[in-house]
Amino acid sequence: MSDARNRPGVLLARPGVIKPGSARSLDWRKAMAKPGVIVVGGGLAGLACATALTEARVGAIVLEAGDAPGGRVRTDVHEGFLLDRGFQVYLTAYPEGRRVLDLDALSPQRFIPGAKVWRGGRLHTLADPLRRPLEAVSHVFEPVGSLLDKLRVLELRQLATSGEVTDLWQRPQQESQRFLSDLGFSEEMIDAFLRPFFGGIFLERELTTSSRMLQFVFRMFSQGHTVVPERGMGAIPEQLALKLPSGALRMKVRVAEVWGHRVRLADGEMLHADAVVVATDPGTAASLLVGMPAPRMNRVTCLYFAAPEPPVEGPWLVLNGEGRGPVNNVAVMSEVSPAYAPKGQALVSVSVVGEASDPGGLEARVREQLTEWFGTAVAAWRHLRTYVLPDALPAQPPSALVEPHRTVRLAAGLYVCGDHRENASIDGALTSGRRAAEAVLLDLGR
């Protein structure tokens, strides 16, 4: 089983980003002699921060330890397949995304609003009654929850979409499991559909995530489309990086320490700036910033297979509605975007949420379970790669969202951003980066 850290073939082709060894890359340290901002980390939050500063005509340089931007949102090219580092989707209703991304340029490819649920020995279809009413009516008596449960979904939609989106973060909160039970959902509906659906989003099946986060996510699903960029999720950070001036993004530069306005690199060199923004993953931020708590992280393992034929036709999300076995959800990514796989092949993404027992035998157990779902054709699937992601997403229990917008200004000249400072989503990362830029501009009198 290959680890996510062994990842050749990174999808990265853009003219404005300086790569190590190029002639123009030699100028970046000279550029740091000018007053400006150092952004440590080239994930979504760091890129959003740097682009906002650039638009305000404040010089910013992004130092990224990896070989390409994106942080946890990356796409690898492997034997002609596009492999996102873990199953991820983008929700077009994200308010911050609408402000900073050119979604049309990403050529978004849509999932069908609904899901197929494996339960009782076969797949059952649950369709969005407002967007696919005929299909929803034809499957209304599928044995995944009762008719009353299906009406409760409409009540949840009405609750989540009422008021302004900012209101959601001020509502009373509790764990999502209790929240769904209090809304009247049956245990069967929670276990068969809501647990694998939200568990695949929050990367925890106990549903201890805050009900505020659940309502936000459900609102986004309800008010927009679930998509992936045609060329993979890594196209999102690539688009942001292209907004930066040439030489502003420096990769394979590791930061060892941060002191106020100063940054010491792993090679010992000290850099100075008017401000420093730490935009790394939560664990690295905690190691660089004194007193910064490291949030608990939820984990996921994602397995990719090449199949001669798609096991499910159409861009469906397939959920494990029985709760047994390692698999939480499956998606045939080439059915969503044909660019994800070479012609004549299908790319199957399989997510195992949480700690995977017996990781050495995980592929065999996944194959055994999917053979039950899709038949003996699974034996012909070729394993491409497994991504083990122990720090995939910050946990979001109610205690983490008591302050929904955590401070990004630590001191004059020192700032922090990331989804752990807002909410654990792409939108949260983008919002946090913009908020950090605004704090920098305020302190600089801009």
- pLDDT (tens digit, 9 = 90+) per residue, 339-359? 999 999 999 999 999 977 677
Average pLDDT rounded to a whole number, residues 65-78: 97
Work out the angle between the directed axes of helices 211-223 and 147-161 (0-180°, nearest 10). Answer: 90
We report the CATH number of the domain holding residue 89 as 3.90.660.50
Task: Give residue-wise pLDDT tens across range 422-434.
Answer: 999 999 999 999 9
- Report the C-alpha gap between 115 and 128 in whole angstroms: 9
Identity of the amino acid at 359: P
Least confident among 56-70, 119-133, 137-151: 137-151
Contact 413, 260 (CB under 8 A): yes
What is each CA distance from 427 to 87, 220, 293, 418, in whole angstroms? 17, 10, 22, 10
Query: CB within 8 A of 101, min separation 6: which ones?
Result: 236, 239, 240
Same domain, 104 and 225: yes
Same domain, 99 and 188: yes
Task: Give residue-wise pLDDT tens across range 232-270.
Answer: 999 999 999 999 999 999 999 999 999 888 999 999 999
Same domain, 193 and 312: yes
Same domain, 264 and 412: yes
- Report the C-alpha gap between 87 and 374 in whole angstroms: 20
Q: Is residue 438 in a domain?
A: yes
- For residue 4, the model assigns a pLDDT of 38
Same domain, 96 and 200: yes
- Mean pLDDT of the chain, nearest integer: 90
- Report the C-alpha gap between 325 and 391 in whole angstroms: 22
pLDDT at 90 over 60: yes
Q: Is residue 141 in a domain?
A: yes
pTM of the model: 0.91
Q: Is residue 15 in a domain?
A: no
pLDDT class for 30, splitting at 50, 70, 90? low
Same domain, 247 and 310: no
**Burial class of residue 260 in the structure, from the number of CB atoms within 10 Å of its CB (0-12 exposed, 13-18 middle, 19+ buried):** middle
Q: How many residues does the chain have?
A: 446
Task: Give residue-wise pLDDT tens across range 142-177.
Answer: 778 888 998 999 999 999 999 999 999 999 999 999
Strand order in the sheet with 297-307: 122-127, 114-119, 317-320, 329-332, 346-353, 297-307, 382-394
Q: Is residue 8 in a domain?
A: no
Q: Is residue 262 in a domain?
A: yes
Same domain, 182 and 278: no
- For residue 332, the model assigns a pLDDT of 98
- Tokens 């989106």 sit on residue: 165
Average pLDDT rounded to a whole number, residues 406-416: 96
- For residue 128, the model assigns a pLDDT of 79
User: What is the span of the domain harbouring residue 324?
Assistant: 78-229+298-394
The token duo for 419 is 């989804």
Same domain, 308 and 283: no
Q: How many domains does the chain have?
A: 2
Contact 110, 222 (CB under 8 A): no
- Report the C-alpha gap between 133 and 331 in whole angstroms: 23
Same domain, 302 and 199: yes
pLDDT at 302 over 80: yes
Same domain, 322 and 305: yes
State what percent of residues in the chain have pLDDT above 90. Answer: 83
We report the CATH number of the domain holding residue 288 as 3.50.50.60
Final residue of a domain: which of 354, 370, 394? Answer: 394
- Report the C-alpha gap between 182 and 69 in whole angstroms: 42
pLDDT at 15 over 90: no
Q: Is residue 2 in a domain?
A: no
Q: Is residue 6 in a domain?
A: no
- For residue 21, the model assigns a pLDDT of 34
Q: Is residue 415 in a domain?
A: yes
Same domain, 112 and 209: yes
What is each CA distance from 331 to 166, 299, 314, in whole angstroms? 31, 18, 10
Same domain, 224 and 332: yes
